Each structure stands twice: as structure tokens, then as C-alpha cells.
Structure 1
Amino acid sequence: MGRIKRSIGMALAAGAVLASATACGGHAAASTADAKSSPKASAKAGTTAGASASPSPTRPSGPPLLLDTITPESGSTVGVAMPISVEFTHAVSSSARAAIERHLKVTTSVPVTGAWHWFSDTRVDWRPEKFWPSGTRVTLNADLDGVTDGNGRYGTRSYQHSFTIGSDFETTVSVPDHTMKVTRNGSVVRTMAIDAGSPDFPSWDGTMAVMDKQREVRMTSCSVGITCDKGNPNFYDLTLPWDVQLTTSGTYVHYSTGDPYPGHSYGSHGCVHLSLSDAEWFYNNVEPGDPVTISGSPRGNVAGDNGYADFNVSWSQWLADSATGRQTTSAS
């Protein structure tokens, strides 16, 4: 089922247009936002102090190194599984990644051990080794002025994002048992009946941080490449309520009119279905960054960059794709 992507990250490029995302598509692949912007010129004025004075240093020549998004949005409160995700508009060379990581400084109100990890040449995420401690205040200082991407582009400014980690609100979904359990700060607050994907359109396994939520989303089989044929039994075109997005490729937790009483069968093309009352409750209580862990599906684990499934990557693999390795944050 399909929709237009709404990122909780801050769009940094003027006129940025976010690519479409998908919903409940069992065979869909992750998509990545692609945005361009017009560079904003900036220069440092030189000074003179007599005939022998030398000009002050100037910014290196070349097009600007620009950021597409920083997630999460500055000033937000997010769940314990939310990474810091920085996306560049153009590719960063492998040779420049260590320098860029050193200019992406993470500080926290309490020391936290974590690391940067490059999912691609345009996306780098920082996450703790384990979930964030609740109540942690986090600041990213991206001091990229004059920093090169290794491909002829140089930063022209700095960015600062600060956010807070909320309560430890965790959700676990058992596909074979058709159940979903929610805990807050370690105590079970609700257990609900669910239906997940079918053998032909299975749900993803693994831990996914909630990306977004909307009261209504239009979902279509055509948008995820299942079928555009209205005569096909897998065709759907529905606007459904209480939608919580888990992946870029379109996994949601939501209510479906086609499966109003879940808890006993396969009922979706990859999403997790709740009853109407349970879906509304979950929507009203869950926040971006809260972890949802699905198990028992035959599809396998979701890729870490399909949304914010960073904790689906093992810590050793996380460090393997870091240019500067493990670090412990200093107090902000």
C-alpha cells in the first residue's frame, strides 16, 4: 500500500522534495529521499595591516557540501531506538569519512558509548551500542564549514540539532502467536491480538524504530508493485486509519477494514494489523524512535537502512563500517 513519505527529519535543502514510500508491500524495496538545493554563497572577508600583511585564509574553492536531512528533528522527543541520521546530497568519498565523522560531534547529558556507521556514500548514522537511556539529552554539532567530502565539495556552514530521549516504550510482535506486547519502562502496559504478513507477502523480522505516524494513509497495491489489475485478488486501494510507519519500503502497524478482527490468521501484505481500538491506542501512545521488534516471520531481518532499523545491525558490523570507531560521548 502506498503513500507520500513524511520524514520526521529536518529537510535542510531549500525546496527539498521527498520521494514516495510504500505501505504493506511484501516484495517492496527501500527507497531513499533525493533532494537538491541551490547553494548559498558565503565567504570570509580578508583584512590588511600594512603593505606586508597577508590575506586571511579563504574557504576552499569548489561546489558546496550540502546536507539533505538530519534526523531526528531538533527540539523533538524520540524513543530509545532512534539513531542520529545524516544524509548528504552528494556522495562522500571513503577517504573523507573519518574527517567528516570527527566534525560530527555528539554530546549527551550522560556518557553513552556509540559510533558512526556508513550505510552508503550519502548516509551516515550514529547510534549507541544499546538503546539510549531514557531522559538523555543529545546534541549533534555538525561543524562542516570548510570540510571536504573528498569529491571536490566543501562545507559552507555548521548545523546543530538537540533532542531528548523519552520513556522506554518497546513493542514486540510474535507473528506465529498473533500477539503484540507493549512495555513502558519495563512494565507490560498492553497485550494485543495481531495479524501479520502472509507466506506470499511476509512481514519483515527485526527491530525497527518508528519512523512516523499519521491518522490516515491511502494504501495501494499498485504503488508497491504487487498489482495494478483491479481484477487481481491482491489488488487494494484503501484509506486506513491509525497508521504507524516502520520502514521506508512500507511496513506499518495499523487497522485494516479487510482484517477487522485480527489474532487468528494471516491478514496483510506485510503490515501488522490491529483491531480498531487497539490501533487507535497504539497510535496515541507510540512516538517516533520507539522500537518495534517483529519475530517469527519467514522473510528474514529488515536491512538497517530500510527506515531506522539501525539496531538490526550487530555491534561488530556497525563498527566495521565506521571510519573512527567506538566512542564515548562527553557531557553536553
Structure 2
Amino acid sequence: MLLDTIQPQSGTTVGVAMPISVTFSKAVAVSARADIEKHLKLTTSTPVTGAWHWFGSQRVDFRPKAYWPSGTKVSLDAELTGVGDGHGRYGIRSYLHSFTVGSDDEVHVYADQHLMKVYRDGTVTKTFPIDAGSPKFPSWTGTMAVIGKSREVLMDSCSVHIACSKSDPNYYHGKYPFAVELTTSGTYVHYSDGDPQPGHSVGSHGCVHLSMANAKWFYAFARQGDPVTITGSASPAAAADNGYADYDVTNWSSWISPDASGLGQLTTPTTT
């Protein structure tokens, strides 16, 4: 059994909604998941109650019931040497991983009001005009933790199954700056030269548009794990595994259900 990735990366500082996401290179049998969870040992500097939750057979995430307390230091000791995956494969090493939770920065996008508000410790620090998804291509709702950000991203309508013909009015192919990624399906907060002065009724293909100056500011501000909550859109909530939208599982009993979570129990990490 080989561990493929652990997010967030060790040594980083992340936002309060960032899950611990462990991905395995091969499928893990349902019968082996509870034992694997027991060997994923967490230590935190601040007491939290949370649980692991499996997304399919290769990914398991831990999140607190509420957001991480700001300033929490987290260590994961993945003691997987000799631990089986239920398919005859066994772990060949263990992993030590640690990160820090940064300030409580939260973003709320009010799609129907064409506004985005940035909060720090519950106080509004910035308010920006935005354009979100059009009625035909509404933005996902719910809470999505920032996945990452890129100074420039190539976006293509064909790759996200919107339009592949250049004659289609919804076709686009180009590089867009100051892109903060919200979902793996292609949702970003970014600047668009096709919508340079957002804040009106013109809609996007699901992304959140900011002006150039505001997109540049938000790009510098945002960190992996910052929660971005979108309301006022006709779309349902993003799937919880569409990036790090773990808090879109709003029913806590669903998060800790035995079918999804192996142990089906709350986890209280050891505190230092």
C-alpha cells in the first residue's frame, strides 16, 4: 500500500477550513479502512473534535466539526508500516506531517447581490463588486476551501464541457490572471478581460469575476484552506470532494456515518 499525497503540505500555514486529505495510490478495501484510520494519529495544540471521512476507495479526509481554531498546530503521524489495504498490499513506511492554521479569514460571495465580502476574525475587511455564474452556468453554492492559486491559468471551455466550437458564443480559450482555485471542476475567483468591471448582471460560466485591482489584492491575500462560501446562486452545493469542499457535508452525522467513515466515530486528537 502506497500513500500518494498528504495535503496540506508539511510546514505550511493554511486557512481554517482546510481538511487533512490523504490519498492512496491504490484502492483501499472497506474492511481495511477502520484500521487505517486508527493508524492516522493526530496531535493538535488546541483541542478539536473531528472525524475521518472516505471519498471513494482512495481518499480519506479529516476535518473538525467546526473550523480549525486559528493558530492551531497540527501533526499527523501516519503509522502505516505493515498496515494492510485489504487487497494484499501493505504499507512500507510511516509519515510525519505537520502544519499550522493561520488567521480566521473567511470569504462570502453573494451571487445575487454581485458582492464579495472578506472577513478576518468575523469583521468585514474588504467588500468587492463581483460577477458570478449566469443563469445558464450558475456558480456552485456552499463552502469551498481554497485549493491553491496561480498567477495565470489557461482556461478552456471545451475542457469543462461547456463549448468546443469557436463559433459557439460560450466558447473561450485563454489565460486569465490572479486565479484562486475553488474546485477541481474549474471554479476560480479571477480577473476576466471579458468582464473588466464586474458588479452588474452579466454572468460568468461559473467563476467569480473581480476587477483587475481587486483580483490582484485577493490573489495576494488568499491562502490554501480559506473558506469561500457562495450563496444566492441557483446551483446546488459543490460535491464535498470537488476540491476541498468538505464543509458541504453539513449534516455531521453524515460525515461520521460508518458507511462513509470506516470507524463511524468522533476523533479527538491528542493535544500538546
Aligned residue for 1:222, secondary structure, equals: coil
In structure 1, what is the equivalent of residue 22 of structure 2? 86
1:174 counterpart = 2:110: yes
**Partner amino acid, structure 2, of 1:326:** L
> For residues 41 and 12 of structure 2, what CA distance do their matches in structure 1 show?
19
In structure 2, what is the equivalent of residue 323 of structure 1? 262
4+ residue stretches of structure 1 with deviation over 3 A? none
Counterparts of residues 1-332 of structure 1 (less than 5 Å)? 65-314=1-250, 315-320=252-257, 321-324=260-263, 325-332=265-272
- Shift in Å at residue 202 of structure 1? 0.9
> For residues 238 and 185 of structure 1, what CA distance do their matches in structure 2 show?
36
- Shift in Å at residue 100 of structure 1? 0.2
**Partner amino acid, structure 1, of 2:256:** L
> For residues 268 and 67 of structure 1, what CA distance do their matches in structure 2 show?
38
In structure 2, what is the equivalent of residue 16 of structure 1? none
- Shift in Å at residue 267 of structure 1? 2.4
> For residues 242 and 202 of structure 2, what CA distance do their matches in structure 1 show?
23
Taking structure 2 as the reference length, the TM-score comes to 0.97
> For residues 79 and 178 of structure 1, what CA distance do their matches in structure 2 show?
24
* Most deviating of 186-195 and 315-324: 315-324
Cα pair 2:84 2:90 within 8 Å, conserved: yes
> For residues 106 and 118 of structure 2, what CA distance do their matches in structure 1 show?
6
- Shift in Å at residue 266 of structure 1? 3.1
Aligned residue for 2:261, secondary structure, equals: coil
**Partner amino acid, structure 2, of 1:198:** S
- Shift in Å at residue 220 of structure 1? 1.1
Taking structure 1 as the reference length, the TM-score comes to 0.80
**Partner amino acid, structure 2, of 1:222:** C
**Partner amino acid, structure 1, of 2:183:** T
In structure 2, what is the equivalent of residue 58 of structure 1? none
- Shift in Å at residue 197 of structure 1? 0.5
- Shift in Å at residue 282 of structure 1? 0.6
> For residues 261 and 74 of structure 2, what CA distance do their matches in structure 1 show?
20
**Partner amino acid, structure 1, of 2:268:** T
- CA offsets 1:288-317 (integer angstroms, 9 cap, x no match): 000000011111110000000001102111
- CA offsets 1:239-260 (integer angstroms, 9 cap, x no match): 1111000000010000000001
> For residues 183 and 171 of structure 2, what CA distance do their matches in structure 1 show?
21
- The percent identity for this pair of structures is 63
Cα pair 2:140 2:230 within 8 Å, conserved: yes
In structure 2, what is the equivalent of residue 26 of structure 1? none
**Partner amino acid, structure 2, of 1:104:** L
Cα pair 2:107 2:227 within 8 Å, conserved: yes
> For residues 237 and 225 of structure 1, what CA distance do their matches in structure 2 show?
13
Cα pair 2:135 2:203 within 8 Å, conserved: no
* Most deviating of 149-158 and 223-232: 223-232
Structure 2 gap segments, 5+ residues each: none
Please say which structure displays the higher CA radius of gyration: 1
